[in-house]
Structure formats: structure tokens, C-alpha cells
Amino acid sequence: MTTFLHSFGISRARLAAMVVKEFIQMRRDRLTFALLIGIPIMQLALFGFAINNDPKGLPTIVHVAEDGPHARSILSALRNSGYFKLEEEAASRAQVDRALELGRVQFAVTIPAGFERTLLRGETPQLLIEADASDPSATGNAIAALARIGTEALRHDQGDLAGTTVATDDRPPPFEFVVHRRFNPDGITQYNIVPGLIGVILTMTMVITTAMAMTRERERGTMENLLAMPVRPIEVMTGKILPPIGMGAIQVSVVLIAARGLFGVPMTGSFPALIIAVMLFIATNLCIGFTFSTVARNQLQAMQMSFFFFLPSILLSGFMFPFRGMPSWAQAIGECLPLTHFLRVVRGVMLRGNGFAEVSANAWPMLAILVVVTVVALNRYRQTLD
């Protein structure tokens, strides 16, 4: 080995000394070392356990206009398929529409009046399935499974339906599922992706912008001047945050114009409500980035922390993969991310026609995150003054 190294003019002792020095520096930079270990572990956990392209247990609201044994058999078959989680029963048609507009449920099942009587007469009654198709990937497999569910639904009730069109393996079910895809009836992927890009772009740029704020002051040697100025931490933080808000507003304008002009994404809801939510989302991300800048020692660490935050925001927010397809622990993490709530707001306003009342349901979690990170950032900033 020594001869081999000497053939390249490399001293074994000098090489060993360099390796030891690098290990010592790595040990001193514990934050970078932790991020380098933590990021692959997080990727492994997210891609291995959290991501699921075949979401099941989708929340479903049921409106039964006429109850009966066959209606209950169909609902039981929907539940047993694993795709539909019948967790709410509506008393009126308005309650069904409200649940879908709020995004509280993915599906609505309506069993009309006269369903049992029509079925027993040997006719083919219709049963309405409404899907929130603003995210086509979340509903595709469940809709595809309806054909099998329909065949199996009344198999145990064949005796009651003797003489009618009985469901068997070889014959079609004695009723018909009518599927209405609401908010995105053509299943256009751009209608789901392009509004979500507003949140992704803002998360990426806003967090990085302010994550560099304090570390850049330290590396340029201007931190002492900043500390010597008669300004309070909240004034420093506000001064760092206000200018990038204008940059974020320009980004949002560009994406909205492209969404409408190039991709034809509709704007069916309240535009002022969307703008207020955008401003709140920008402020939240800027405060998160500022918090990172008070923790990181240099710009490299700030960049790594931003990436550490950006990765789960993309994967667990519902932007790339169906949110309801993830396990409960991953959904709990996703609920703590501002991008999750902003995606619900922007898709709700542009596709579902949401207004201020609906937007507020996801605005207050973003406001709560903003308050928490602001308190943490101010406390961290005071520590840097010591």
C-alpha cells in the first residue's frame, strides 16, 4: 500500500493527518453532519413508508334518501372495498355540497328515493357517486374499483332479488353507478399541478431568501454593525421580511397569469380571499427562513436546513402524492406544514369556488405556524446578541 501511494507521490503520514483533520472539522460542525445523516434517513422514511399512489380509506359522505336492506348492502360493499371510508351521513343535499366544497370529503354517495322499489321491480336504478376530482390521482383507483364493487354488492341478497337482474360474476349489477367528477370533470392534471406550483415556488424561494439573512450578515462581517444599531429584534426581523414580500407578490402574479393564460385554469372563487391567504403564506415562509438563519452558523448550513424543510413540504403536503393516501403519522406531519394548508386554499379558491368562509378553515393553521416560528425566531435572535 505504501509503495502504491509513493508511486503517486503521496505520503501515508500526511494523508492520515489530513483525514484526521477532516474528521475533527466534521465533528465540530455537528449541524452539517446531522443534516447529512438526517436527509437520507428522511428520504428513506418518506418514500418507503409515507408515499402511496393507491390511496384508500378516502373520507366519504353518504346521503340516503330512502333506507333499505339493499342500500345498506351497497354501502357495506363500498366500505369493505377499503377505498371508501363512510364517516359522515348527510341530512340534506346542501350538506353534501358543503362537504365537497370545503374539501372535507373526497366522495359523496347519494342513494335516491325509490331506489329499493325500482330495484325490486327488476329495473336498473341509478346510484350517484360524486368525486372531488381537483386531485385526479386521489380518486382514479377508487372510481375504477366501482365496477367490481357493484358486482359484489348484492351477491348476498340474490334471494330477495329472484326474478330480477341478479348480480353474479357473469352478469352486470342490477343497479348503475353514475359518477360525477366535480371541480375538474375532465381530470386535467394541470388544474391540480399549476395552482400547487404557487405554493411550491413560494416555499422554495421565500425560505431560502431569509434563511441567508443573518448568516450573510455574519459572513460579510456586518453583523457587528447591525448589533450596534438601536433596533429591536422584532424591527430587524420585520425589516428582513418586508422586502421579499414584494418579490413573492411578483412571483404569484406571474404564475397566476400563466395559469389562466397558458393552461386555462379556472378562477371560480374569491380572488381577494386568495390574495390574503397568499400574503399570510409568504409571511409564514419568510419567518421560517428567518428562524433557520438564527440557528445556522453559515450560509451552507442555512441552505441545508432549507432543503431539510423543503423535502417534507413537497412530499407530505399533497402536492406530488395524494395526501389522504399517506399513513396517519405522515398526515400529522403534513398538517404542521404551511404548504399543506395553502394547497387546500389555492385549489379550493381556483377550482371549488371557495370564499372567505372556506379559506379561513386553512388560514388559521398558517397563522398559528406564523406565530410559533416568530416567537422562536425572536428568542433565537436574542441569544445571538449575548
Percent above pLDDT 70 for the chain: 94
pLDDT digits 0-9 by tens, 57-82: 899 999 988 888 888 888 888 888 88
- What separation in angstroms does the CA of 7 have from each of 1, 2, 11? 10, 9, 10
Residue 167 confidence (pLDDT) above 60:
no
Work out whether strand 58-64 and strand 84-89 pair parallel, antiparallel, or are unpaired.
parallel
Name the H helices within 46-135.
Answer: 69-80, 93-102, 115-120
Cβ neighbours around 189 below 10 Å, total? 12
Q: Measured between alpha carbons, how far is 294 from 286 in angstroms, rounded to an integer?
A: 13
Percent above pLDDT 90 for the chain: 32
pLDDT of residue 225: 77
Which of the listed ranges 45-49, 114-118, 365-369 does the model predict with the highest average pLDDT?
Answer: 365-369
pLDDT of residue 119: 82
Provide the whole-model pTM: 0.84
Structural domains of the chain sorted by starting position, each given as residue range(s) with its CATH number in brackets: 18-51+189-384 (no CATH), 58-159 (3.40.1710.10)
Q: Measured between alpha carbons, how far is 216 from 302 in angstroms, rounded to an integer?
A: 10
pLDDT digits 0-9 by tens, 3-44: 776 777 778 888 888 888 888 887 777 777 787 788 888 888
Name the H helices within 29-110.
Answer: 30-45, 69-80, 93-102
Chain centroid to CA 53: 14
Pair 197, 256: CB distance under 8 Å: no
Mean residue pLDDT across the chain: 85
Q: Is 207 helix (H, G, I), strand (E, B) or coil?
A: helix
Sign of dihedral through CA atoms 223, 226, 228, 234?
negative
Residue 366 confidence (pLDDT) above 90:
yes
Work out whether strand 176-182 and strand 126-132 pair parallel, antiparallel, or are unpaired.
parallel
Q: Measured between alpha carbons, how far is 307 from 302 in angstroms, rounded to an integer?
A: 9
pLDDT of residue 299: 85
pLDDT of residue 383: 53
pLDDT digits 0-9 by tens, 87-137: 888 888 899 999 998 888 999 999 988 888 888 888 888 889 999 988 888
- Which has the closest alpha carbon to 123: 114, 111, 136? 114
Q: Measured between alpha carbons, how far is 42 from 36 in angstroms, rounded to an integer?
A: 10
Looking at residues 241-264, what average pLDDT do you find?
90
Cell representation of residue 226:
447591525
Q: Which residue has the cell 423535502?
A: 311
Q: Which residues pair with 84 in a beta bridge?
A: 58
pLDDT of residue 337: 95
- Which has the closest alpha carbon to 60: 81, 31, 30? 81
Q: Measured between alpha carbons, how far is 284 from 281 in angstroms, rounded to an integer?
A: 5
Residue 231 confidence (pLDDT) above 90:
no
